[in-house]
Amino acid sequence: MKHLADNAPLKQLDEWDDFVATRYRQGKSEEEFRNYKAEANPTVTEFYRQNHARQTFDFVLQKKAEYCSLSRGKKSIWEMAAYLNTLVDDSDPDTDLTQIEHLLQTAEAIRKDGHPRWFILTGFLHDLGKVLCLYGEPQWAVVGDTFPVGCEYSDQVVFPEFFAANPDSKIPAYQTEYGIYEPDCGLDKVHLSFGHDEYIYQATRRYMPEEAQYMLRYHSFYAAHRHGAYHHLMNEHDERMFDWVRKFNAYDLYSKGRERPNIQEILPFYEELVSEFFQDKIDW
Ligand SMILES: [Fe+2]
Ligand SMILES: [Fe+2]
């Protein structure tokens, strides 16, 4: 991937995913968790510095206008997965999973626990939105913990001190508890920082059940699903649906490190699964 170094502090996108998994390592005490900064390497820290400074309310609206109309052409899920797999960054081919392997590993972990077919498929789809990087979007607009824009930043978002450099922090209307939103308005009315979650949600929402839509759209919203922040913007329906987001998150975080999936062996199952929900090419 050729990027301006300034816009690509991570050697590979997965560095962010790995950092998140470390933060929530199973069995970690709350005190250990609060030490996450010691574990963030300089590239991850620089990545968050850019993400928090540049994801403004206006930026989010602009990216939503650009991508949520799904006007970049039609592709099948498999064509998109193959396209995402061309993202190689500086990863080590011997040890690092390819993007498709991460998707299949997540899906397989869900399958082994006997969950419904739509849940397995959600595991397979969940990071396809990272193709934003191949469209030329900078890392800070593709990955990272998501957070609402247009209202006060929660200190439950990692590296909250980096928000001081965001131009929105100087706009008083965006810095009250509710900002531009109404109490308990529901997350559908709230704009989150832009990234791969929103894009895959928009592309697949017409084909997937609502529980899956929540999993896809909010899987990086750690401040809410792990730390209970932003409840004042959620309605009761969101609260119920977030049980599914949390259920999904365990598989996203902890499926890595399991054995490499035998793609040839499991491919027929996934071909049938994908065609059950997506008969044709879809808009991206
Ligand atoms: Fe993701
Ligand atoms: Fe993931």
Q: pLDDT value at position 257?
A: 66
Give the Å distance between the CA of 1 and the centre of ligand 2: 19
Residues forming beta bridges with residue 75, ordered by sequence position? 282
Instruction: Report CA(173)–ligand 2 centroid distance (Å).
Output: 34
Work out the average pLDDT over 175-190: 98
- Please, what is the average pLDDT of the chain? 93
For residue 14, how far is its CA from the centre of ligand 1 (angstroms)?
Answer: 9
Cα 123 to middle of ligand 1, angstroms: 10
pLDDT band, very low/low/confident/very high, at 91 (cuts 50, 70, 90): low
pLDDT score for 98: 85
The predicted model scores a pTM of 0.94
Q: Give the whole-angstrom CA distance, residue 49 versus residue 47.
A: 5
Percentage of the chain modeled with pLDDT above 90: 80
pLDDT beyond 50 at 124 = yes
Handedness of CA 183, 184, 187, 189 (dihedral sign): negative
CA of 172 to the centre of ligand 1 (A): 31
Mean pLDDT for the stretch of residues 138-150: 98
Q: How far is the CA of 173 from the centre of ligand 1 (A)?
A: 30
Give the pLDDT confidence score for residue 66 in this predicted structure: 98
Q: What is the pLDDT of residues 201-257, one digit of tens each?
A: 999 999 999 999 999 999 999 999 999 999 999 999 999 999 999 999 999 987 776
CA of 119 to the centre of ligand 1 (A): 15
The pLDDT, as a whole number, for residue 260 is 85
Q: Please, which residues have CB within 8 angstroms of residue 246's CB and are 6 or more apart in sequence?
A: 225, 226
Q: What is the Å distance from ligand 2's center to 249 Cα?
A: 9
Q: Is the pLDDT of residue 136 over 50?
A: yes
The per-residue DSSP string of the chain comes to ----GGG--SSSTHHHHHHHHHHT-TT--HHHHTTHHHHS-HHHHHHHHHHHHH--HHHHHHHHHHHTT--S-EE-HHHHHHHHTT--TT--TTTSPPHHHHHHHHHHHHHHTT--HHHHHHHHHTTGGGGGGTTT--GGGTSS---BSSSPPPTTSSSGGGGGGSGGGG-GGGSSSSTTSPTT--GGGSPBPPSHHHHHHHHHTTTS-HHHHHHHHHTT-HHHHTT-TTGGG--HHHHHHHHHHHHHHHHHHHSTTSPPP-HHHHHHHHHHHHHHH--S-EE-
pLDDT at 2: 42
Ion ligand 2 neighbours, Cβ < 5 Å:
127, 252
Distance 204 CA to ligand 1 centre (A): 15
User: Does residue 109 surpass a pLDDT of 70?
Assistant: yes
pLDDT number for residue 1 = 43
- Taking the mean position of all CA atoms in its chain, how far away is CA 158? 15
Ligand lying closest to the C-alpha of residue 106: 2
- Cα 129 to averaged position of ligand 1 atoms, centre (Å): 8
Q: In the structure encoding, which two tokens stand for residue 147, read together?
A: 């957070």
CA of 126 to the centre of ligand 1 (A): 6
Please report the pLDDT score of residue 34 as a whole number.
72
- Which is nearest to 9 in space by CA: 139, 163, 131, 136? 139
